[in-house]
A and B are shown apart, each in its own frame.
Chain A
Amino acid sequence: QKEVEQNSGPLSVPEGAIASLNCTYSDRGSQSFFWYRQYSGKSPELIMFIYSNGDKEDGRFTAQLNKASQYVSLLIRDSQPSDSATYLCAVFYGNNRLAFGKGNQVVVIP
């Protein structure tokens, strides 16, 4: 059973629009949640983390966590061409490992 699901296919958004990414996880004991960005051929880089229910904003990025429904989302406001990348959702378990989804590709169209 997959622990972290990112089911949406590639997402194309016009420059300046909002990109919305969703992620669900299976273990109710999950403690904290991370969004990483990965450019093609590069390693993942952290965008933000969240561990409390609700919204957390950092610049143009907002993470939303709903533990009751076991989902976490990422909104990218005012999308820029430089935001074109794969976004990885990761769930931190108490045994100090991250479980990753397979990622969602975002393409921002100028």
Chain B
Amino acid sequence: GAGVSQTPSNKVTEKGKYVELRCDPISGHTALYWYRQSLGQGPEFLIYFQGTGAADDSGLPNDRFFAVRPEGSVSTLKIQRTERGDSAVYLCASSSLAGLTDTQYFGPGTRLTVL
């Protein structure tokens, strides 16, 4: 079936603006994750959804970041008052919560550039 999709693929915005990044997980996957990857680094965990609820949002850097998943499928990551330091690739992943062998499948990412 189709993989994880993310839109837009690229987003350029100005400092102080609001942005929304969208993730459409693999059909049937109950778990959805957001990660952020800066150049030369591995992905950094932001938030994990199980169904509609945020089960773990400990990775969100501050209250400018917020994410929702209202119907348990598509998720939106929202960033208010963007700063240049928010520039990174934002990756979404989904999984079927298969325990120890739970495999997270990643989308293509959204490259966010804050000018």
Interface residue tally on A, bucketed by range: 20 to 34
Q: Please name all residues of chain B whose beta carbon is closer than 8 Å to the beta carbon of A49 when the two chains form the complex.
A: 101, 103
Q: Is A25 an interface residue (CB 8 A)?
A: no
Q: Are A100 and B108 in contact (CB under 8 A)?
A: no
Report the minimal beta-carbon distance from A21 to chain B, rounded to whole angstroms. 13
Which chain B residue lies CB-closest to A105? Answer: B40
Indicate which residue in B41, B105, B107 contacts A46 across the interface (CB closer than 8 Å).
B105
A96 to B45 CA separation, bound complex (whole angstroms): 10
Q: Mark B30-69, 1 if CB is under 8 A from A, else 0.
A: 0101010000111111001010000110010000000000
Indicate which residue in A32, A45, A96 contacts B56 across the interface (CB closer than 8 Å).
A96
Report the minimal beta-carbon distance from B100 to chain A, rounded to whole angstroms. 5
A102 to B104 CA separation, bound complex (whole angstroms): 18
- Considering only residues 93-111 of chain B, those with a C-beta below 8 Å from chain A are 97, 100-109
Report the minimal beta-carbon distance from B26 to chain A, rounded to whole angstroms. 13
Q: Are B100 and A44 in contact (CB under 8 A)?
A: no
Q: Please name all residues of chain B whose beta carbon is closer than 8 Å to the beta carbon of A102 when the two chains form the complex.
A: 40-42
Q: Is B21 an interface residue (CB 8 A)?
A: no
Q: Are A43 and B103 in contact (CB under 8 A)?
A: no
A97 to B97 CA separation, bound complex (whole angstroms): 11
Q: Mark A45-57, 1 if CB is under 8 A from B, else 0.
A: 1100101000000
Q: Are B43 and A32 in contact (CB under 8 A)?
A: no
Report the minimal beta-carbon distance from A106 to chain B, rounded to whole angstroms. 15
Identify the B interface with A (CB < 8 A).
31, 33, 35, 40-45, 48, 50, 55-56, 59, 91, 97, 100-109
Identify the A interface with B (CB < 8 A).
4, 6, 31-32, 34, 36, 42-46, 49, 51, 88, 90, 92, 95-103
